[in-house]
Amino acid sequence: MKTVHLTKNKISNKGAFLLLLQDQCKRVQVETVGNNISDDLVSLLSNRQNAKQTAKLFLMPGEYTSRKVSPLPFTAVNLLLQFLPQLPNLQELALCVSYQGEEEDELTDQLYEVQPPLKTLKLRLRDWPFDNMTRLLTLILQQFPLLEVIDLSGNDINDEVVPALAQSLGSCQNLKKVDLSHNDLSERGDFLPPLPNLEEIDLSHNAISDEAVPCLLKGLGLCQKLKKVNLSDNKLSDVGELIAAFINLPILTRVDIEYNSISDESLPAIAAWLTVRPCVEEVGLLGNRFSAEGVRDFVRTMKGKAYQWFVNDGLLYDGSQADVDESVESGGEDVRREEQQWERLRRCIFRIDVKVGRLTVWIEHRSNSAQYHSITLDLGRPFS
């Protein structure tokens, strides 16, 4: 027998792994089209010769014309880990695991000796209690110490999970990129262990507050290869301490702290950081609580030029002159030019790009907040 036809049934990804682990199925072609199985597993069942060449495995849920691929159940995680050694060249795994609350003991903490040299892991956890979430994170991340990219976004990870999260991430010392966006991190910042190779971290769309900053900056300071940090859409108001941490990151090139609650009082510290770290190329400050005066003073301090975004020759304010205040005091044409520039900047209700050399800072002020909101309701958030 060379082919087994199991098409158009209700076999799930769990059933597919049970088939893949059977010795008999290694010697036959198993046709499973029309079941509730991910395409990558259907391909492996029909041609086991593909296993050695498989570099990506996508096991995310999805709705299709004639089938529905559900998340992998909690009870099938060990089946997955038993099978993965048959994919010796696997580089990327995208996995969604659901928890139904039963058969908890079926998830063992066994470490499998041989696993593929996985570099990228995208993990989604559906409806998980926190104790079980920490257990699964620990188990899976310990299996793959060579990981370079991990995406844990959108998993409702909160402060209760932080100790296990830090320990799990710490077992992957090759990590270059960590995505913890769209979770519920708030007051604890000690989720970031020393990761000497980390280049990029995304912490956007959490609830990270000023209380988390002392521990967070300690973690950031131990990641000296960081190039990109995203803290947008959080609850930060005082970033003075964070800026001190950024100063100590020698190759940092991009920082996003958009849509927080940062006010004018933080702008001098931001300007001081950007002055001593000329390697920084992009900084996102949209959606904070800056006044028009604060933005103008920032442009002056940076000795930069402010442009209206997406407008050709849209110079709003030139702060590159050595001594703007002295020019104003001299009277005449300089006064009129300063007044015209200030009026243009004050009236601009969209994104402003402040340029200094190769650095671009995108910022906005809310001096005309009522007019701003009435216009942007239909346009949505300004692009960055």
Distance CA 197, CA 174 (A): 6
Cα 349 to its chain centre, rounded Å, is 28
Percent of the chain past pLDDT 70, that is, above it, reads 89
What is the C-alpha separation between 137 and 277, in angstroms, rounded? 36
Dump the DSSP string for 99-158.
Answer: --SS-GGGS--PPPS------EEEEEEES--HHHHHHHHHHHHHH-TT--EEE-TTS--B
Q: Determine, yes or no, domain membership for 195.
A: no
Max Cα separation, the chain? 96
205-224 pLDDT per residue, tens? 999 999 999 999 999 999 99
Mean pLDDT over residues 368-373, rounded? Answer: 48
The residue-averaged pLDDT of 169-184 equals 96
Which stretch of 151-160, 274-283, 321-330 has the lowest confidence by average pLDDT?
A: 321-330
Q: Given 3-state DSSP classes, what are the helix, strand and coil percentages for the chain, each rounded to the nearest 5?
A: 40, 20, 45
Evaluate whether residue 372 is within a structural domain.
yes
Spatial CA neighbour of 300 closest among 317, 275, 282 = 317
Task: Give backbone dihedrals phi and psi of 261, rounded to 5 degrees, phi first.
Answer: -125, 40
As a whole number of angstroms, the distance between CA 181 and CA 25 comes to 40
Full domain range(s) for residue 375: 290-384
pLDDT at 379 over 50: no
Residues 158 and 184: their CA atoms lie apart, in Å, by 5
Does 241 reside within a domain?
no
Say if CB 306 and CB 352 are below 8 A apart.
yes
SS3 255: strand
Residue 314 lies in a domain: yes
In terms of DSSP H, where are the helices of the chain? Answer: 13-20, 39-46, 77-83, 130-143, 162-170, 213-221, 240-247, 267-276, 292-302, 324-329, 333-347, 369-379
Number of domains in the chain: 1
Q: In the structure, what pLDDT confidence band is assigned to residue 104 with cuts at 50, 70 and 90?
A: low
| Global confidence as pTM | 0.90
Examine residue 312 and state whether it is found in any structural domain, yes or no: yes
Q: What pLDDT band is residue 347 in, cutting at 50, 70 and 90?
A: very high
Contact call for residues 80 and 136 (beta carbons, < 8 A) = no
Summarised one tens digit per residue, pLDDT across range 150-173 is 999 999 999 999 999 999 999 999
pLDDT of amino acid 370: 45
Contact present, 226 and 204 (Cβ < 8 Å): no
CA distance 96 to 275: 44
Q: Does residue 324 form part of some domain?
A: yes
**Which residues are paired to 305 by β-bridges?**
318, 355
Residue 198's alpha-carbon distances to 124, 178, 180, 228, 286, in angstroms, are: 21, 8, 14, 10, 26
202 with 180: CB under 8 angstroms?
A: yes
Place of tokens 């956890």: 125
* 23 has pLDDT over 90: no
Q: What is the DSSP letter of 321?
A: S
| pLDDT over 60 (residue 22) | yes
Strand partners, 229: 201, 255
* Average pLDDT of the residues in 133-140: 87
Has residue 330 been placed in a domain?
yes
Who has greater pLDDT, 292 or 28? 292
Quote the CA–CA distance of 338 and 139 in Å, as a whole number: 62
Distance CA 163, CA 383 (A): 35
- Do 13 and 26 meet the contact criterion of CB atoms below 8 Å apart? no
Residue 48 has pLDDT above 70, yes or no: yes
